[in-house]
Structure 1
Amino acid sequence: MFLHGYFPAILEGLRSTLLISATSLSIACLFGLIGAGAKLSGSRMAGLAADVYTTLIRGLPELVLLLLIFYGGQIMVNALADRAGLGYFDINPFLAGTLTLGFIFGAYLTETFRGAILAIPRGQMEAGKAYGMTQGQILRRIILPQMVRHAIPGFTNNWLVMIKATALLSIIGLDDMVHRANLASATTRAPFTFYATIAGLYLAVTTISILLLGWLERRFSLGVRKVEF
């Protein structure tokens, strides 16, 4: 029997991994946009807070941050709950894991989005103001469409790294593909078979992601002339 009958369980773990990655990416984009906005806002305090956030997160290993935020966050939440007389809270691993990954990769996307916005010629925003556009219209019609085109290469790299980083969440008990492979290999004593299988599945997901995001980049670059040096 293929994979000793554990293949359906591995595929279910793959579904969980993709759900974790997509949820974490949404959270990371939110943190990234807030961070980029803070750095470009002109506010000294907001810029300083964003600088501390990105410098601290990018300077520490993901595994160390994951453990610090997961266990530290749980201790903090339960300390506040105990003070309020609400009792003990057992934080859901999915919620904790996705929030942690989103928070970590939000720091990387902050720089990606900031660089993408800075790549837009300032004259275009000034032209929007001259046409009588509001700040919201300038953001929606001028900044965001062009920001996406400039951000896609960095966004792709962060997405690929995030998919692989989900494997770390098995440490905190999240039922993902790696966790299921661990259980199956412990039962069958065939670790190489299961780890080689999930390695192939990770490679398939990242390859498909590269192809789809490459197509998206070309789509957003239609009508843009590339200058060759």
Structure 2
Amino acid sequence: MADAGSLINWSLLALEPPGWGGVLLAGLWNSIQIAIGGYGLGLILGTGGAMGKLYGGPVTKDLLEVYTTLVRAVPELVLILILYYAGTDVLNQISAALGWGAVDISGLAAGIFVIGVVQGAYSTEVLRGAIKAVPAGEIEAARAYGMSPVQIMRRVTLPAMLPHAIPGLSNLWLIATKDTALLAVVGFSELTLVTRQAAGSTKAYLLFFCAAGALYLMITLVSNVLIGFIERHYRRGMVRPA
């Protein structure tokens, strides 16, 4: 009876051609770049959105409510298609109207923008909930000491809200790493697309999709280690629930 080694051509995972290992790693690197960039953009949008929802005027709050509701209601694949194609078309129309000609948008920049917009809506709600979890007495005590709003945010609100925000933000990071796979539908060479190309060229579907799954699992395991370290750091000194 043939063993697994004779059924699977492991040489197809070699880093040099005719192996596809180097292509898979390049796709993995693209996925990581998009995940980091999109997650960072999402944090920026989420921070602004949370502040706007908590402290903004009625119009700002209504606009942010529409943004977060739409993004969370529409499937992410549909959002990616809308933002990628419609966003590119609108940008080119504006550029043409200004006499600049067509704009060549890199797949990396477009991917970061798309993932960032999606992440921003979820980050808004995570950060808003974390800020509201900070005891009002701590804010009032900081004001009584004469701290400015910026000092209160930097010295009181941010340190106190991070332990509440980290679990939700950690989950969003893992979601961002998976959402990069959706960019395969718009032709960006991230891990999922190059895996499909490798499997289609060699017909070794089991080998390549298992390899891609292992790479995604590796990202998750490394992320869990880093997240655990960050969570322990920011929860030091806090009383654990019984």
Matching residue of 1:197 = 211
Gaps (5+ residues) in structure 1?
Answer: none
Note the 1:17-36 alignment, pairs <5 A.
Answer: 17-36=31-50
The equivalent position to 2:151 in structure 1, one of 123, 137, 142, is 137
- 1:209 offset after TM fit, Å? 1.1
Matching residue of 2:186 = 172
Matching residue of 1:155 = 169
Deviations 1:3-41 (A, max 9, x none): 261112211221111111111111000010011011101
Matching residue of 2:240 = 226
Give the 4+ runs in structure 1 shifted more than 4 A. none
Distance across 2 between alignment mates of 1:47 and 1:157: 25
Matching residue of 2:70 = 56
Distance across 2 between alignment mates of 1:216 and 1:25: 16
Distance across 1 between alignment mates of 2:104 and 2:33: 21
2:207 paired with 1:207:
no
- 1:227 offset after TM fit, Å? 2.8
Q: Which secondary structure state, in structure 1, belongs to the residue aligned with residue 207 of structure 2?
A: helix
Tell me the TM-score normalised to structure 2 length.
0.91
Tell me the TM-score normalised to structure 1 length.
0.95
Matching residue of 1:185 = 199
2:9 paired with 1:9:
no
Q: Which secondary structure state, in structure 2, belongs to the residue aligned with residue 126 of structure 1?
A: helix
Matching residue of 1:101 = 115
Distance across 1 between alignment mates of 2:105 and 2:32: 21
What is the identity, as a one-letter code, of the residue corresponding to 1:144?
A: L
Distance across 2 between alignment mates of 1:48 and 1:150: 25
Matching residue of 1:41 = 55
Distance across 2 between alignment mates of 1:48 and 1:179: 38
Distance across 1 between alignment mates of 2:96 and 2:225: 49
Gaps (5+ residues) in structure 2?
Answer: 1-10
Task: Indicate how the Cα distance of structure 1 residues 213 and 48 shifts in structure 2: closer, same or farther if over 3 A, else same.
Answer: same
Distance across 2 between alignment mates of 1:153 and 1:206: 14
Distance across 2 between alignment mates of 1:42 and 1:164: 33
Question: What's the RMSD between the two structures over aligned residues?
Answer: 1.2
What is the identity, as a one-letter code, of the residue corresponding to 1:197?
A: A
Q: Taking every aligned residue pair, what percent have the same amino acid on both sides?
A: 38
